[in-house]
Amino acid sequence: MAPDWLHTLVAKAARSPVPAGMRPPADGSGRPAAVLMLFGEGPDVLLIQRSSRGRRHAGQPAFPGGGLDPDDDGAVGAALREAQEETGLVPDGVEIVGTLPELYVWRSDNRVTPVVGWWHTPCAVHPASPDEVEAVERVPIAELADPANRLKLRHPSGYSGPAFQVRGLLVWGFTAGILDNMLRWCDFERPWDHHRVEDLPPDVVNLAAR
């Protein structure tokens, strides 16, 4: 059975306003998509690193996920299917706890529904689709909350957002923003230096600009 803090995450997200820059367009435009926020004992969360050869979000750590297909059972079905295709996940080992409000990612024109799952029966995972995924990691929540692993990254546009340096991954952007909220809403957050701001590395900027 999923722990109480995951139900708290879903409940608090539902009550929290979506930031203006991430509100889906009122005209309904944008591609429907979903990501799987999969948490397991530890607790930990499943992340992938997208292939540096990809067309969108190349090289970025992310939650497994992608666009909805006509045969998917909505956002939940898409999130589980994409996670299975990308990591070899066995969907039967996952309890769906709920979904978070839809978020808009302007760069890829995606309307993304985060799907929260509890990994009650873990399985081996790996980059099951090498053209799309370079690495798969189960990242402990304690490492995300460790103040030594937390910082803000400044994009060339001037925008600064939360980031994490964990397991050889530099987690930033959309994924880091959701994880930042998760830590706060679930009372996992520890005091950290919000004045630690670094520039987004040039190689990361170049990949993201594709």
Distance of CA 65 to CAs 82, 137, 189, Å? 5, 15, 25
Tell whether the model's pLDDT for residue 210 goes beyond 80: no
Q: Examine residue 136 and state whether it is found in any structural domain, yes or no.
A: yes
Rounded distance between C-alpha atoms, residue 196 and residue 69, angstroms:
41
Tell whether the model's pLDDT for residue 34 goes beyond 80: yes
pLDDT of amino acid 59: 82
Q: How many separate domains does the chain show?
A: 1
Token readout for 76 is: 């939940």
pLDDT of amino acid 107: 84
Higher pLDDT, 207 or 123: 123
Q: Examine residue 152 and state whether it is found in any structural domain, yes or no.
A: no
pLDDT one-digit tens code per residue, 78-112: 999 999 999 999 999 999 999 999 999 988 999 99
The distance from CA 87 to its chain's CA centroid, rounded to whole angstroms, is 14
Q: Examine residue 76 and state whether it is found in any structural domain, yes or no.
A: yes
The distance from CA 39 to its chain's CA centroid, rounded to whole angstroms, is 11
Q: Examine residue 201 and state whether it is found in any structural domain, yes or no.
A: no
Question: What three-state secondary structure class fits 115?
Answer: strand
CB neighbourhood size of 31 (10 A): 13
Average pLDDT value for residue range 41-59: 83
Q: Examine residue 119 and state whether it is found in any structural domain, yes or no.
A: yes
Tell whether the model's pLDDT for residue 70 goes beyond 60: yes
CATH number at residue 18: 3.90.79.10
pLDDT one-digit tens code per residue, 122-174: 999 999 999 999 999 999 999 999 999 999 999 998 889 999 999 999 999 99
Distance of CA 2 to CAs 50, 74, 89, 107, Å? 28, 22, 18, 33
Q: Examine residue 205 and state whether it is found in any structural domain, yes or no.
A: no
Q: Which residues contact 93 (CB under 8 A, 6 or more apart)?
A: 119, 120, 121, 122, 123
Bridge partner residues of 84 (DSSP):
none
What does pTM read for this prediction? 0.95
The distance from CA 105 to its chain's CA centroid, rounded to whole angstroms, is 12
Token readout for 113 is: 């529904």
Average pLDDT value for residue range 46-73: 87
Q: Examine residue 174 and state whether it is found in any structural domain, yes or no.
A: no
Higher pLDDT, 165 or 53: 165
pLDDT of amino acid 55: 58
Its domain, for residue 86, covers 4-140
Tell whether the model's pLDDT for residue 31 goes beyond 80: yes
pLDDT one-digit tens code per residue, 175-200: 999 999 999 999 999 999 999 999 99
Q: Examine residue 39 and state whether it is found in any structural domain, yes or no.
A: yes
Tell whether the model's pLDDT for residue 57 goes beyond 60: no
The distance from CA 56 to its chain's CA centroid, rounded to whole angstroms, is 15
